[in-house]
Structure 1
Amino acid sequence: MSTATGGAARGTGEWSAAESVVLSRAVHHAPSVHNIRPWSLTLHDRAAELRERPTVLVQHDPDGRDRRISCGTAVANLVLAIRGLGRTAEVVLSSSAGLVVATATSTGRAEPTEAERRRGAAVLERESYRKPFADAEVPEQVRDALLEAVVDGGATGRWITGADESLGVAQLLCYAARVFHDNPDYQRELHSWTTAAGGSLRWDALGERGLAAVGLTTSRTRLPDEAVLASRIAQEAVLVVGTRADQPLDQVRAGTAVQQAWLEATSRGLVASVSTQPLHLVEVRNGLAHGLGFAAAPQILVRFGYPAERR
């Protein structure tokens, strides 16, 4: 019988010691809300079980949306790691005591696809990039590949295009930024998670301009003019990722889909950052779906581009 701890635990099954290290390392490098890794990993037989762990983000993540999206990114990394070992990976999502459980089972050997190889190799390179992008458009064929990766992950996506859509999205994001900026309880909790207060967030890692700035609104955020924000959204490749429904397992699928697209982008020399905080407000989610004619429940906004400086 294997045991699990916060983060990753190695079981006593058929996974070798070397394989266990590969799987644990891949999961460890998945992006998560406030870098808190709200999951545990247990390895046993030829299965890997990733279980959602409760967190104490009362103001920031009251319904656990970000926590489950984070678990989804870890599932994506886990599956790619198993596939990178030359094994099959069948994932079953379930819930136990109100918490999500993802079980990836390997029943045999199978070589990974070229896309899986690319994305798996990008796991350790992926990073959040909240700075302005270089002045270079993301080619249409690359956008198509990123959308395909989202679909591979079990979700759907839609690019924000044109001045009208950019302005509509900017208005919703500015509204959300004002709500969180003026919420003292939210701001106190956010401050407690910064490095200055012994937490895991760095103030200087947060965005200061455009979509990156209003994605996680702090007391220091300078709320942008709607027209200025709309102009910056129009200049970037911004993807809305959604799911057919909006239940806990759908939020996990959204996280898996975004991570697949993020790794695909990394493998092609792009950088990205995600925004979920505005979508905690139901009126923002509904406004996005209605304004964009998006026949899905919006879960995440992702901005893609090329880095402005040499990496």
Structure 2
Amino acid sequence: MSTLALDAAGLEKLVSAAVAAPSIHNSQPWRFHLQPATSTLEVRADRSRAVPAADPQGRALHISVGAAILNLRVAARHLGWAPEVRLLPDPADPDLFAAVRLDGAATVPAPGTERLFEAIWRRHSIRTPFTGEPVPQAVLDELVAAARTEHTALQLPDHAETTRLLHLTAEAERRSTTDEAQRTESRSWIRTGDAEAQPYGIPVTALGPQDQAGHLPVRDFAALRAAEHQAPAPFEHEPRIAVLTTEHDTPEDWLRAGLALEHVLLAATVHGVRASLLHQAMEWPYLRWEARDPHRGPGYVQILIRLGYGPEGAPTPRLAAGNVLDREE
């Protein structure tokens, strides 16, 4: 952009980047509202696309919107702004998750902005097996640092702790596929028709197989419908799991977890590392509490991230920027 005027083209770029973020079941539970008088873009929750059976507290909804805020911040920096992000700025308006002020130009480009911005469009969740090639320690260290910049922690458990976490995830997966409310809700987000007509949810083509050995519990969106299952496939024997945690467990912590999650995913994409999200245990309070590593002291697990190498993954549909953007006249 030749100027920093918040024109229609710039606004569309910002919102298009934001809606490319991951969200639980690709529910895209966000709306954006421009206040031109203050050059502020408000990020609001759209609870009409909540997933109450899996996320009764709205924790995953906050994480989803937090991921969109991270993309918005990266895109704003890419366009030359120095965005000022305030989380939950108005206690009287709990659906206003963030206010992003865009009235200042960046004096120095933020390090790594261009690589992260380019990664926004290449980041896709993958639900298929990885090659088993280990992620280099230097890359893992960079992902840990990315989470730290968002005031969260990314833990890299050892083999024994990884096995324990996968057992918890498997137990959560069993509960989710046999619980009627969870099963019905999960199925309702699968899309078999035209992506333009149903620009949210998960296309059936983006689903993956189950692990042939039963070691890695991938979410079964088909939920016991055998006719919809892909043939089982061998997954990596030693999965690299990362655990995203926060010090506390408030709505602001959930938003920060979303910012950190997307920052980690974009940084991974820069290095050609693929990711899939293991959220099942987070949806059952006892199992989520059990996911804490007692040797690391207090903290709250927000999500597990599986990292590795493999195909890029299939994109999922997104709502158009104009469908989630409100403007003040």
TM-score for both structures, normalised by structure 2: 0.80
Does 2:73 align with 1:52? no
Q: Which moved more, 1:249-258 or 1:105-114?
A: 105-114
Paired residue for 2:206? 205
Question: CA shift at 1:301, angstroms?
Answer: 0.6
Letter in 2 for 1:268: H
Letter in 2 for 1:193: W
Alpha-carbon displacement from aligned partner over 1:230-251 (angstroms, at most 9, x marks no partner): x968722211001111111111
Q: Give the whole-Å Cα distance in 1 for the aligned partners of 2:286 and 2:71.
A: 32
Q: Give the whole-Å Cα distance in 1 for the aligned partners of 2:247 and 2:215.
A: 25
> Whose helix proportion is higher, 1 or 2?
1
Question: CA shift at 1:205, angstroms?
Answer: 2.4
Task: Give secondary structure in 2 for the equivalent of 1:220.
Answer: coil
The match for 2:255 among 244, 247, 252 is 252
Q: Give the whole-Å Cα distance in 1 for the aligned partners of 2:215 and 2:33.
A: 36
Letter in 2 for 1:244: E
Paired residue for 1:68? 62
Task: Give secondary structure in 2 for the equivalent of 1:298.
Answer: strand
Task: Give secondary structure in 2 for the equivalent of 1:302.
Answer: strand
The match for 2:165 among 161, 169, 194 is 169
TM-score for both structures, normalised by structure 1: 0.84
Paired residues for 1:205-244 under 5 Å: 205-207=206-208, 208-209=210-211, 213-215=217-219, 218-220=222-224, 235-244=238-247
The match for 2:80 among 62, 79, 86 is 86
Is the 8 Å Cα contact of residues 134 and 308 (structure 1) preserved in structure 2?
A: no
Alpha-carbon displacement from aligned partner over 1:275-297 (angstroms, at most 9, x marks no partner): 22321212122111145635320
Quickly say closer, same or farther: Cα 1:158–1:233, change in 2 above 3 A: farther
Alpha-carbon displacement from aligned partner over 1:25-62 (angstroms, at most 9, x marks no partner): 11121111222211111223322211111134231222
Letter in 2 for 1:41: F
Paired residue for 2:29? 38
Letter in 1 for 2:247: R
Question: CA shift at 1:260, angstroms?
Answer: 0.3
Task: Give secondary structure in 1 for the equivalent of 2:181.
Answer: helix
Letter in 1 for 2:140: R
Q: Give the whole-Å Cα distance in 2 for the aligned partners of 1:221 and 1:288.
A: 29
The match for 1:299 among 282, 302, 314 is 302
Paired residue for 2:13? 22
Unaligned runs of 5+ in 1: 1-12, 223-230
The higher-RCO structure (CA 8 Å, 6+ apart) is 2
Q: Give the whole-Å Cα distance in 2 for the aligned partners of 1:77 and 1:212.
A: 29
Q: Give the whole-Å Cα distance in 2 for the aligned partners of 1:27 and 1:269.
A: 21
Alpha-carbon displacement from aligned partner over 1:167-207 (angstroms, at most 9, x marks no partner): 21122112211211211221122222212487722344234
Q: Give the whole-Å Cα distance in 1 for the aligned partners of 2:237 and 2:156.
A: 10
Task: Give secondary structure in 2 for the equivalent of 1:70.
Answer: helix
Paired residue for 1:266? 269
Paired residue for 1:187? 183
Q: Give the whole-Å Cα distance in 2 for the aligned partners of 1:195 and 1:61.
A: 20
Q: Which moved more, 1:257-266 or 1:108-117?
A: 108-117
Quickly say closer, same or farther: Cα 1:310–1:285, change in 2 above 3 A: closer
Identity of aligned residues (%): 29
Q: Give the whole-Å Cα distance in 2 for the aligned partners of 1:187 and 1:310.
A: 24
Is the 8 Å Cα contact of residues 100 and 249 (structure 1) preserved in structure 2?
A: no
Does 2:145 align with 1:148? yes
Q: Give the whole-Å Cα distance in 2 for the aligned partners of 1:29 and 1:78.
A: 10
The match for 1:105 among 101, 107, 116 is 101
Q: Give the whole-Å Cα distance in 2 for the aligned partners of 1:298 and 1:310.
A: 26
Is the 8 Å Cα contact of residues 216 and 235 (structure 2) preserved in structure 1?
A: no
Alpha-carbon displacement from aligned partner over 1:63-106 (angstroms, at most 9, x marks no partner): 21211110010000000011101111121111544324211113
Is the 8 Å Cα contact of residues 129 and 235 (structure 2) preserved in structure 1?
A: no
Quickly say closer, same or farther: Cα 1:171–1:236, change in 2 above 3 A: closer
